A and B are shown apart, each in its own frame.
Chain A
């Protein structure tokens, strides 16, 4: 079945450092890929998405590129801020049909940014 694997955390960085959170997936066909962010005590927010190979999703300075050849969707940001401290989830979806829009999530990566 489908699966998503994220790098183990927690990740601790200083403000303005470069961020990479690795995500790889296993799925047949061409799933859509997502990054969600969860701030303490809140629900998940969609951060960015990519729906086909070589697409780059971007939002709020974060980027991720859908790499079909390496089955990866790594999250990057050039300069993190304290306000980026949160849990980040990588996910995939096969969309509708018999998949019913269900998401497969990675285990989440905790990011802490210090001033």
Chain B
């Protein structure tokens, strides 16, 4: 069966520090991968998606970037964190172009101080 992992689970970082969040999927190949941010426990904002290794599409201009160095690995990064980067970051995957539902990871709670 397929599983999705995110780490770390929680992170407290000072303003101006770098960021690296990792997401990996097991039990599948060539998934579509997605990064979301959720503020205040409500709405989800799609940040990036990837349909293959090295292929990244950005949904909103911001302080963050994403990379996909391996088929089942998706990384969210920042060179210098802002206070506004605080939130709950969720990674999700979908098996492929014919599948519609997404499956979400457990999330990373980021607090920028």
**Complex contacts, A45 vs chain B, CB 8 Å:** 104
Q: Is there a chain B Cβ closer than 8 Å to A46's Cβ?
A: yes
Interface residues of A (CB under 8 A from B): 32, 34, 36, 38, 40-46, 49, 51, 87, 89, 93-97, 100-103, 105, 107-108
**Complex contacts, B57 vs chain A, CB 8 Å:** 100
CB closest chain-B residue, reference A36: B104
**Is the beta-carbon distance between B46 and A102 smaller than 8 angstroms?**
yes
Interface residues of B (CB under 8 A from A): 6, 32, 34, 41-44, 46, 49, 51, 57, 90, 92, 94, 96-107, 109
**Complex contacts, B43 vs chain A, CB 8 Å:** 105, 107-108
**Is the beta-carbon distance between B107 and A95 smaller than 8 angstroms?**
no
**Is the beta-carbon distance between B42 and A43 smaller than 8 angstroms?**
no
Shortest distance in angstroms between A11's beta carbon and chain B's nearest beta carbon?
14
**Complex contacts, B102 vs chain A, CB 8 Å:** 46, 93, 101, 103
**Complex contacts, A49 vs chain B, CB 8 Å:** 100-101
CB closest chain-B residue, reference A33: B100
Shortest distance in angstroms between B36's beta carbon and chain A's nearest beta carbon?
9
